[in-house]
Amino acid sequence: MPYAIVPGSFDPVTNGHLDIIERASRTFDHVTVAVVVNRAKSPMFTIQERVEMLREVCAHLSNVDVDSFDGLLVDYARSHGAGIIVRGLRAVSDFEYELQMALTNRRLLPDIETVFMMTGAEYSYLSSNIVREIALLGGSVEGLVPDSVKQHLRQKILLKQ
Ligand code: ADP
């Protein structure tokens, strides 16, 4: 039974992420969106907040659940019995890093397969980074993130002021 993991930082989840998650949900029997606990970055949202936002925006997808993990992705995949990692590809610039990660993960766990999905063209420029920048500078993120994420961004920025 094809069981796929969609890993990422999701700080916060954007419409580009959601596009990939929806494509994965149509392609695989079961999908876990897994938020990576990455100590190297200084995130805007806590892991719990990112998981909560993802659960809200994935509520309509009955074969998708949301989790978080610390450590190696291949260890998480192995312990959950997932054989597929799904990553989104936007531009050629994503390719080098994604190839490196996919080959590294395959070396660590030969059974794991990384599958790349092309983003919808309208989201090809979109990243969490861009969304955070726009929101922090007071611009509109309409159409870039799901409505519920817009509310979370508003609250977060009000709290910062
Ligand atoms: P990471 O920190 O692991 O790159 P991200 O949260 O930035 O995590 O992205 C998670 C996944 O979603 C990655 O596979 C990334 O390529 C993909 N992704 C991010 N933004 C988009 C987008 N606009 N369209 C398609 N895929 C995207």
Q: What is the pLDDT along the chain (161 residues), one digit of tens a residue?
A: 699 999 999 999 999 999 999 999 999 999 999 999 977 778 999 999 999 999 999 999 999 999 999 999 999 999 999 999 999 999 888 899 999 999 999 999 999 999 999 988 999 999 999 999 999 999 999 999 999 999 999 999 887 76
Ligand 1, atom 10, lies closest to the CA of 8
Structurally, the chain folds into a number of domains equal to 1
pTM assigned to the model: 0.93
Q: What is the three-class DSSP state of 64?
A: strand
* Ligand 1 site, residue 150, Cβ cutoff 6 A: no
Ligand 1, atom 21, lies closest to the CA of 16
Catalytic residues: 17, 41, 90, 128
Q: How far is the CA of 17 from the centre of ligand 1 (A)?
A: 6
Q: How far is the CA of 77 from the centre of ligand 1 (A)?
A: 18
Beta carbons within 8 Å of 84's beta carbon, 6+ residues apart: 2, 3, 4, 5, 28, 112, 113, 114, 115
Residue range(s) defining the domain that contains residue 99: 3-160
* DSSP symbols for 97-160: HHHHHHHHHHHH-TT-EEEEEEPPGGGTT--HHHHHHHHHTT---TTTS-HHHHHHHHHHHHHH
Ligand 1, atom 11, lies closest to the CA of 8
- The CATH number linked to 96 is 3.40.50.620
CA–CA separation, 52 and 48 (whole Å): 6
